[in-house]
Structure 1
Amino acid sequence: MRHVALVTLVVDDYDEAIRFYTGPLGFRLAEDEPRPDGSRWVVVEPDALGGVAAGHGTGLLLARAKDEEQRARVGDQTGGRVGFFLHTDDFARDHARMAAAGVTFLEEPRQEPYGTVAVFRDLYGNRWDLLQPAG
């Protein structure tokens, strides 16, 4: 079996990013290890709330920007498009919890043929879909 294990997300600050992803988004901190070069190996992943057991989905590798070129990409890694998709088995529950925690939704929830969806921004401005797939 093969699957995408990690996706890198360039961030300004490890601890700030960890607080956002483990707080308002409800992810869990899977790894946080110092590296010899002074960086850290930081992985967050969705918890089992959405019906996926921890450690069995795609995690985010939170990578602190190392230079100006990387800092310019923070918050706009996909050119303003939705680049990340957070699936849930209970849209209403997660939408309400995230909104109460201060997550900025860019639209009202809507029904599409593929499910219930609303676009939100993460801490840095990257666009995400909160999505409960149809069926």
Structure 2
Amino acid sequence: MTITHIDVVSLPVGDPERARDFYVGTLGFELVRQTPMGPAQQWIQVAPPGGHTSITLVTWFDTMPAGSLQGLVLRADDIDAEVAALTGKGVAIPEGVQDAPWGRYAVFADPNGNRLVLQGAPRA
């Protein structure tokens, strides 16, 4: 096999433009592509700066209602700074930063209810 990496992950949303604004404006992702896909749909693809994997904000999968994704893990070098920045932008992180043997993490939701995990390294 010659699979080298995960390219695109589909993230179910109800309002693609609102989701785009959250991922680009709040999380700091880059807009990779936004193109029409017919009269009522568009391909919106975002990615962390320099990342290999991107996210497409989808509305067209009947089996993936908006907000149904749970546990997409995002990596941060300084989780405390990232959580402070996110809460400063109005993102609710009710349980704050949690410690686990495998690392530190914080859970939050995007505007569509998809639950994301921000993960950092364990405490030294």
TM class, shorter-length: 0.7 to 0.9
CA RMSD, Structure 1 to Structure 2 (Å): 2.0
Note the residue ranges of structure 1 that are not aligned, 5 or more in a row: 48-53
1:74 counterpart = 2:66: yes
1:107 counterpart = 2:102: no
Structure 2 residue corresponding to 1:5, chosen from 1, 4, 7: 7
Structure 2 distance, partners of 1:19, 1:96, is 19
Tell me if structure 2 keeps the 8 A contact 1:83–1:127.
yes
Structure 2 distance, partners of 1:4, 1:37, is 29
1:88 counterpart = 2:43: no
Equivalent residue, structure 1, for 2:115: 127
Note the residue ranges of structure 2 that are not aligned, 5 or more in a row: none
In the comparison of the two structures, how many residue pairs are matched?
Answer: 121
Structure 2 distance, partners of 1:39, 1:73, is 15
Question: Which residue identity lines up with residue 59 of structure 2 in the other structure?
Answer: R
Question: Which residue identity lines up with residue 73 of structure 1 in the other structure?
Answer: P
Structure 1 distance, partners of 2:106, 2:71, is 13
Which deviations, in whole Å up to 9, do the C-alpha atoms of 1:33-56 show, x marking residues without a partner?
112454211101112xxxxxx2x3
Tell me if structure 2 keeps the 8 A contact 1:84–1:128.
yes
Equivalent residue, structure 1, for 2:56: 61
Tell me if structure 1 keeps the 8 A contact 2:80–2:97.
no
Is 29-38 or 104-113 further displaced after alignment? 29-38
SS of the residue corresponding to residue 117 of structure 1 reads: strand
Question: Which residue identity lines up with residue 94 of structure 1 in the other structure?
Answer: E
> Normalized against structure 1, the TM-score is what?
0.79
Structure 2 distance, partners of 1:106, 1:21, is 19
SS of the residue corresponding to residue 105 of structure 1 reads: coil
